[in-house]
Amino acid sequence: MPKKPISVGSQALLFNQLKQFDEPGLFQDKYETPDYIQANLKDELRPYQHGALRYLHYTQRKREKAQLLYRHLLFHMATGSGKTMVMAGVILYLLKEYGYQNFIFFVHTDAIIRKTRENLLNPQSPKYLFSQTMEIDGEKITVTPVETFPSIPERNTIYLKLTTIHKMHDELNSHRENSITFEDLKEIPLVLLGDEAHHFNAGTKAKGKKKNSKEYEELTWERTIENVLALRPDNRLLEFTATIDLGQKEIGQKYRDKVLYQYDLKQFMSDGYSKKVMLLEANQNDSDKMLDAVLLSQYRKLTAADNGIAGFKPVILFKSNKIATSKEKQNEFSQMIAALTPESVRRHLANKKAQISSDTSIWNKVIQRYADSDLVTVIGQIQEDFNNFNLLNVNKSDLLEENPVLLNTLEDTDNPVRAVFAVAKVNEGWDVLNLYDIVRISEQASSSKSGTDSEAQLIGRGARYYPFRYDGKQSFTRRFDTSAKDLSVLEQLHYHTINEPAYIRTLHASLEQADIDAQQDGSGRVEHAKLKDEFKKSAVYQTGKLYFNEVEEIENSSRCWETYSLQTHFEIPYQTSGEESLDNLTAASVDGGIKMEPLVLDERFFRKAMHKICFYELDNLQRYFPKLLSIREFIHSDDYLGKLKITVTVPQALDFSAISSKAKLTLLETVLLRISENVRRNEQKVKGTYRFTSLPVREVIKDYSLFIDPSVTVNQKITAENAIGKKWYAYDNAILNQLEHKLIKVLAAFMPKLKARYDDIFVLRNDEQSTRFKLTEFDGVRGFMPDFIMILTCHADNTYWQVFLEPKGDDRLLDDAWKENMLETLNDKDRIIIDENEDVKLVGIKFFANKQMDVFIKDMQDKINDGEPLETPSLLL
């Protein structure tokens, strides 16, 4: 949630008024998202998405009050924060709690309609947000697209109309046949879902416009929305936007009492849900700039491969200001790629090295990686990856109007595009996640603030996080901000721009206004923490152990089709990449109704489709299906694809037997991609047990390095403090955030009492990037890496204590409560099994948090000091 409340005039936003009561748990009732919402969504909701649903619940739970105060509400949430996922949760909530079945989703462009259809109505799409089968209270729930709403709705059916605001306005005011009317809508309770809501305020912003003007047309749209809402007191209007100027007087007045939830871009980026934005400044010609981007992009791909990250495909956007320039530069780009030689690359990188002024510039790593490579092989890969077939030029005013399939599936492994040439900016509705480099070519420095404002919007949309899998896990937040490893480059967007002081100042002002934290390449430093020689000579390091719980497989290790809950019968809509689809066929061809046709294919189709999807390589398939012997068996055996049945929904008028082989192949690829996603999603997982095993301390605890980012917020700011005087701290340097430093100071106050009781005391930093030492949730699958481990030994009774300590920000106490419960369970000797040594004692301490400091201190005293005070409160405070 935003840390700086926004006020409008003398009165705070509704969100800030409600937020005052949300500290102990919203309005004292500690409401949590109902299980039926999460169970019917494909992905886990994030903490702020839970928050948005919690605030909605508060406003709607008292119906009379809701009718008066909370009929029209706005969710103001950052680009990329998953507003449509919140919308999906809202739909489920309003259906279950209040019986709403009729929903109109409206937006200002057709492009976003197409995207939303994939999100909410197409179960075959990888972007579909609901679960494949939805169920509430044991009854199946369906989502049905409609143009008009039924007068008698079917039970457990959500009716969803997707439309543009201008189309809805025209329908309601034209009285055409088979379109919605105000009279029809009076009869049904209705929820209006307005996306990109900042486009619906022309009437608020501009009074008295001429009737023929665009502003007047938009004014009438706004009035239409208000009129539909006013039809019934139980109607609701829920708007969603990332961009709304609450500082503008009229907009602020309109939305002051309607902004229900606010999660701005600055908080979104600070919480790690986006890429980190890096500015690369250089005065170079266009060819050098384009080659820079290619070498940096391919370095990302090589880094991913070096670390076992499969299918990583970074994309470059080359942005020009004229269509002719864009096409010319694409031709130059192709000629440059074709002419690359090892010598030309070495010469380019040598010139680059001469320009570097910082030890932490990304170019140091790039240059070293290419110096260690076989450049003949690497250049061959670059020329293959960036050949003409893998370049996309889109130069209409709306990127999504041209090549929508290629542009909206850039992350897919079978989408070959590595570079996009465009004049249009990355606009609303383009949800690309693997865009990593944006390059301005043939553009002068913007002389106006409006120009750099546009660039800031471009950067903000391009910074969406790409959730790649590493070390067997997929993350939706950055993991390597402070890592000195090369992996941080896979979480950074580089904006290649001009090194011109006045322009850079203006750009930074625009970025700050847009709440985008951008960092210049080469800023920051790397700090190193080394184990002290005294610790390395100790018995704890030489012979001590670190104990962690074992895991066991949840399902039988004999993996087969059923193991992954795979279906054998698919029903998909007729859709191809080069022909008509069910969504865009003419009205005349659809009027005759639709029919179901079986897709009958021979082995050649399967082999060709599987060849295009790397998942279906034999060695990869055998990883998931150990008994599989050949591709032929996979295609024909009833144990695999042999029982596969594909039924296609087509118009009655279409002769399905006459469709092209290319169309059939596209339909098959849709099904095979869906199967591969389900295999990955349902792959066998392991769960944590109560049995503990160990590793030697010397194999786990090692020297490490961290990158210090000067741009982070105060609470998360990492600093390095010399720890030579603290014999009990295992490292010479304490590289910690501010809360962690506070814990070390508290432990220092405890040391005199602890030294009187224990012979050896060492505090070990469990650095996530270097140790990888973790616990696994008891009877669950979540991993937990306690930040600190304190080792205590007592020679008199030969006991060895392993104490887990976890600093936790107050805002994380609720969401990470499962970790604290796990720490508490560690103290249950009847449940924890340590076969190796009866003298080992595992101790879990309650979170070290500002809000519960007294609880932490008492827990430490009770568990490792027999309840006696460890230090006087005055010294601690």
d(CA 243, CA 463): 16
Question: Is residue 306 included in any domain, yes or no?
Answer: yes
d(CA 439, CA 317): 6
Spacing of C-alpha 825 from chain mean position: 31
Q: How far is CA 303 from CA 224, 312, 313, 474, in A?
A: 53, 10, 11, 17
User: Cβ contacts of residue 626 below 8 Å, gap of 6+?
Assistant: 558, 559
The dihedral through the CA atoms of 482, 483, 486, 490 has a sign that is negative
Q: What pLDDT is attached to residue 376?
A: 95
Sheet holding 236-241, edge to edge: 134-136, 139-145, 157-164, 102-107, 191-195, 236-241, 72-77, 259-263
Question: Is residue 578 included in any domain, yes or no?
Answer: yes
CATH of the domain at 302: 3.40.50.300
Q: How far is CA 451 from CA 299, 425, 446, 484, 859, in A?
A: 31, 12, 5, 35, 57
* Domain match, 170 and 186 both: yes
* Domain match, 723 and 777 both: yes
Give the tokens for residue 186: 């009076």
Question: Is residue 8 included in any domain, yes or no?
Answer: no
Spacing of C-alpha 306 from chain mean position: 23
Dihedral angle of Cα 92, 95, 100, 101, to the nearest 10 degrees: 80
* Domain match, 515 and 577 both: no
Measured in residues, the chain has a length of: 877
Question: Is residue 268 included in any domain, yes or no?
Answer: no
Spacing of C-alpha 738 from chain mean position: 26
Domain count, the chain: 4
* Domain match, 215 and 285 both: no
DSSP 149-185: --SSPPTTEEEEEEEEHHHHHHHHHH--TTS--HHHH
3-state secondary structure of 824: helix
The dihedral through the CA atoms of 261, 264, 270, 271 has a sign that is positive
| pLDDT < 70 stretches in the chain | 1-11, 22-30, 197, 199-220, 396-406, 424-430, 443-451, 484, 499-501, 554-559, 562-565, 575-592, 681-685, 709-716, 769-770, 780-781, 836-837, 872-877
Question: Is residue 5 included in any domain, yes or no?
Answer: no
Spacing of C-alpha 276 from chain mean position: 13
**Beta strand 788-794 pairing with 799-805:** antiparallel
Give the tokens for residue 774: 């973790």
d(CA 66, CA 61): 8
- Residue 359 backbone phi and psi in degrees, to 5: -70, -20
**DSSP secondary structure letter of residue 813:** T
Question: Is residue 384 included in any domain, yes or no?
Answer: yes
Of 347, 568, 478, 374, the closest CA to residue 80 belongs to 478
**Global pTM?**
0.62
3-state secondary structure of 874: helix
Element (H, E) at 818: helix 817-825
* Domain match, 246 and 332 both: no
Q: What pLDDT is attached to residue 587?
A: 37
Give the tokens for residue 42: 């494909």
Q: Cβ(105)–Cβ(116) under 8 Å?
A: yes
Dihedral angle of Cα 241, 458, 119, 660, to the nearest 10 degrees: 150
* Domain match, 390 and 407 both: yes
Residue 336, Cβ neighbours under 10 Å: how many? 18
Q: Of 203, 230, 263, which one is at a domain's C-terminal end?
A: 263
Of 460, 479, 482, 462, the closest CA to residue 471 belongs to 479
Q: At what angle do helices 47-60 and 83-98 cross, to 10 degrees?
A: 40
Q: Mark out the alpha helices in 539-642 (DSSP H runs).
A: 539-543, 587-591, 603-612, 618-624, 631-636
Question: Is residue 354 included in any domain, yes or no?
Answer: yes
Q: Of 681, 707, 732, which one is at a domain's C-terminal end?
A: 681
* Domain match, 460 and 600 both: no
Q: What angle do CA 758, 760, 762 make, to 5 degrees?
A: 115
Q: What pLDDT is attached to residue 99?
A: 94
233 half-sphere exposure, CB direction, 13 A CA radius: 7
Of 557, 551, 563, 548, the closest CA to residue 779 belongs to 551
Give the tokens for residue 731: 């490292």
Q: Mark out the alpha helices in 307-374 (DSSP H runs).
A: 323-338, 342-355, 362-371
* Domain match, 204 and 346 both: no
Domain that holds residue 844: 528-552+687-876
Q: Cβ(366)–Cβ(299) under 8 Å?
A: yes
Residue position matching structure tokens 């689809």: 581
Q: Cβ(845)–Cβ(859) under 8 Å?
A: yes
3-state secondary structure of 70: coil
**Beta strand 545-553 pairing with 419-422:** unpaired
DSSP 629-689: --HHHHHH-TTTGGG-EEEEEEETTS-GGGS-HHHHHHHHHHHHHHHHHHHHHT---EEEE
Whole-angstrom Cα Rg for the chain = 30
Q: Cβ(260)–Cβ(14) under 8 Å?
A: yes
* Domain match, 311 and 423 both: yes
3-state secondary structure of 345: helix
- What totals of helices (H) and strands (E) does the chain contain, helices first? 32, 35
Q: Cβ(256)–Cβ(13) under 8 Å?
A: yes
Question: Is residue 713 included in any domain, yes or no?
Answer: yes
* Domain match, 582 and 511 both: no
d(CA 93, CA 85): 12
Q: What pLDDT is attached to residue 79?
A: 81
Q: What pLDDT is attached to residue 116?
A: 87
Element (H, E) at 204: helix 202-205
* Domain match, 211 and 124 both: yes
Q: What pLDDT is attached to residue 403?
A: 56
Residue 528, Cβ neighbours under 10 Å: how many? 14
Q: N- to C-terminal Cα distance for the chain?
A: 28
* Domain match, 27 and 153 both: yes
d(CA 354, CA 362): 14
DSSP 254-302: HHTTTEEEEE-HHHHHHTT-BPEEEEEE----HHHHHHHHHHHHHHHHH
- Residue 263 backbone phi and psi in degrees, to 5: -140, 95
